[in-house]
């Protein structure tokens, strides 16, 4: 199997040994044993601390997309009004998903080099009176981080009853995120980004008023959120929960909490700053329009003149460095350094910069 010395893909991220070990253990008791209920409750508690919430956090099995779809289908029905705030592929994609559910979707679109503007979002929301507003915290393909606290406050004052749905898959556990203080109703998290657990954990923090809407909408399906309101006791889960995935998330949150939430956030900021400075020294332009729009979890850079991504990627891999390309309209224009979770390390970013210098120089 190919392994790279310097893994800096923006997810799935490198999994630390203790997390891998927790995942790969043989769990003798089935999830029907009381031990699983205790373990699930402890994992949920850790996630609450990581996310800054007292809400229930559903720990579902599936990719990050399972969280995005499950939460959306659970609160959006045919004909419901939705405002999709979109400054990139995920923001647009969530709007398209809502359209697929028959919702009446209005977009507040931005150039992917920018982040959404709270005043403009508030105007759009006030004009459309939506049931749900969808946001993306970190637009991973563009390397931008939305001003989520300000956006959420603006939405709350423009439409107090609208639910705030946030894709925090590539920001949670890597940047400041306060679900309760910021009033986020549905906060969606994946296991394989800044948490650095294996893929297959989809976590959703659900506010009390989101639970009310979930029961009013009444969506039933494999990815429905409704049944997760009352999980815990043996036999209460809508399907067999994965002890392995739960254990990996438990261990991953344990690492974040042992290091300290603030220290983790600072580490991401420092590593991202180094990455931006180093790239500038090599004459590589940032993709986001302003440094303030940059995410601490992933840095998006313009491909240097005369370089295709395929050629740069091959040269980097030849030196044991693997970065991310991009897709959609940014393909062939942008490449990305994924410094999130266990990959938010100075030594990794420094090695990538040295390799880039050697290749481009």
Ligand X SMILES: *Cc1c(COP(=O)(O)O)cnc(C)c1O
**Residues 205-234 contacting ligand X, CB under 6 A:** none
- Give the separation between CA 328 and CA 113, rounded to whole angstroms: 14
Q: Which stretch binds ligand X (CB under 6 A): 49-57, 59-67, 142-150, 246-254?
A: 59-67
- Give the separation between CA 193 and CA 118, rounded to whole angstroms: 26
Task: Name the residue nearer to ligand X (CB basis): 68 or 348.
Answer: 68
**Count of residues of this chain found to bind ligand X when the rule CB under 6 A is applied:** 14
Pair of tokens at residue 30: 């089935």
- Give the separation between CA 213 and CA 305, rounded to whole angstroms: 50
**Looking at the DSSP assignment, which residues form a beta bridge with residue 186?**
165, 206
Q: In the bound complex, what is the minimum distance in angstroms from residue 340's beta carbon to ligand X?
A: 9
Q: In the bound complex, what is the minimum distance in angstroms from residue 282's beta carbon to ligand X?
A: 26
Q: Which stretch binds ligand X (CB under 6 A): 61-69, 213-221, 261-269, 303-311?
A: 61-69
190 binds ligand X (CB under 6 A): yes
Contact 214, 75 (CB under 8 A): yes
Task: Name the residue nearer to ligand X (CB basis): 37 or 171.
Answer: 171
Which of 83, 87, 131, 169 binds ligand X (CB under 6 A)? It is: 169
Residues 6+ apart with CB under 8 A from 55: 48, 179, 180, 205, 206, 207, 208
Task: Name the residue nearer to ligand X (CB basis): 194 or 355.
Answer: 194
Binding mask 68-107 for ligand X (x = CB under 6 A): x---------------------x-----------------
Q: In the bound complex, what is the minimum distance in angstroms from residue 94's beta carbon to ligand X?
A: 8
Task: Name the residue nearer to ligand X (CB basis): 11 or 118.
Answer: 11
Q: For 202, left (φ over 0), alpha (ψ -120 to 50), or beta?
A: beta
| Percent helix, percent strand, percent coil in the chain, to nearest 5 | 45, 15, 40
Binding mask 123-142 for ligand X (x = CB under 6 A): -------------x-x-x--
Task: Name the residue nearer to ligand X (CB basis): 36 or 223.
Answer: 223
Please give the residue whose beta carbon sits closest to ligand X in the complex. Answer: 64
- Closest CA relative to residue 339, chosen from 309, 280, 282, 294: 294
Task: Name the residue nearer to ligand X (CB basis): 188 or 355.
Answer: 188
Q: Which stretch binds ligand X (CB under 6 A): 124-132, 162-170, 228-236, 305-313?
A: 162-170
Q: Which residue has the tokens 């927790």?
A: 22
- Give the separation between CA 152 and CA 75, rounded to whole angstroms: 18
Q: Distance of alpha carbon 215 from its chain centroid, rounded?
A: 25
Pair of tokens at residue 88: 């990139």
Q: In the bound complex, what is the minimum distance in angstroms from residue 137's beta carbon to ligand X?
A: 8
- Give the separation between CA 199 and CA 215, rounded to whole angstroms: 29
Which of 6, 8, 11, 252 binds ligand X (CB under 6 A)? It is: 11
Residues in the chain: 361
Q: Which residues bind ligand X (CB under 6 A)?
A: 11, 63-65, 68, 90, 136, 138, 140, 167, 169-170, 190, 193
């Amino acid at each position: 199997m190919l392994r790279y010395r310097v893994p800096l893909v923006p997810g799935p991220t490198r999994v630390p040994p203790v997390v891998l070990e927790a995942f790969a253990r043989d769990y003798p008791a089935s999830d029907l044993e009381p031990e699983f209920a205790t373990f699930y409750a402890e994992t949920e508690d850790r996630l609450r601390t990581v996310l800054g919430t007292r809400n229930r956090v559903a720990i579902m099995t599936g990719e990050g997309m399972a969280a995005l779809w499950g939460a959306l289908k659970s609160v959006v029905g045919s004909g419901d009004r939705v405002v999709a705030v979109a400054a990139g592929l995920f923001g647009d994609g969530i709007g398209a998903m809502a359209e697929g559910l028959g919702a009446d979707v209005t977009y507040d679109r931005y150039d992917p080099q920018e982040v959404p503007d709270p005043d403009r979002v508030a105007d759009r929301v006030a004009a459309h009176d939506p049931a749900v507003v969808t946001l993306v915290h970190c637009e991973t393909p563009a390397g931008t981080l939305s001003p989520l606290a300000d956006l959420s406050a603006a939405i709350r004052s423009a439409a107090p009853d609208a639910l705030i749905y946030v894709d925090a898959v590539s920001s949670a556990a890597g940047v400041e995120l306060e679900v309760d203080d910021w009033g986020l109703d549905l906060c969606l998290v994946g296991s394989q980004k800044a948490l650095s657990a294996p893929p297959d954990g989809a976590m959703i923090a659900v506010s009390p008023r989101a639970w009310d809407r979930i029961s009013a909408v009444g969506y039933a399906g494999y990815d429905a959120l409704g049944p997760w309101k009352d999980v815990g006791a043996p036999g209460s889960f809508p399907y067999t929960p994965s002890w392995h995935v739960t254990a990996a998330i438990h261990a991953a949150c344990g690492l974040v909490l042992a290091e300290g939430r603030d220290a983790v956030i600072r580490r991401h900021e420092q590593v991202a700053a180094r990455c931006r400075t180093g790239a500038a020294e090599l004459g590589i332009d940032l993709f986001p329009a302003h440094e303030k729009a940059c995410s601490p979890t992933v840095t998006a850079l313009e491909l240097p003149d005369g370089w295709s991504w395929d050629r740069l990627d091959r040269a980097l891999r030849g030196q044991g460095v693997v970065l991310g390309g991009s897709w959609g309209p940014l393909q062939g224009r942008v490449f990305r350094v994924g410094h999130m979770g266990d990959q938010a390390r100075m030594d990794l970013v420094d090695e990538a910069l040295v390799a880039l210098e050697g290749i481009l120089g």
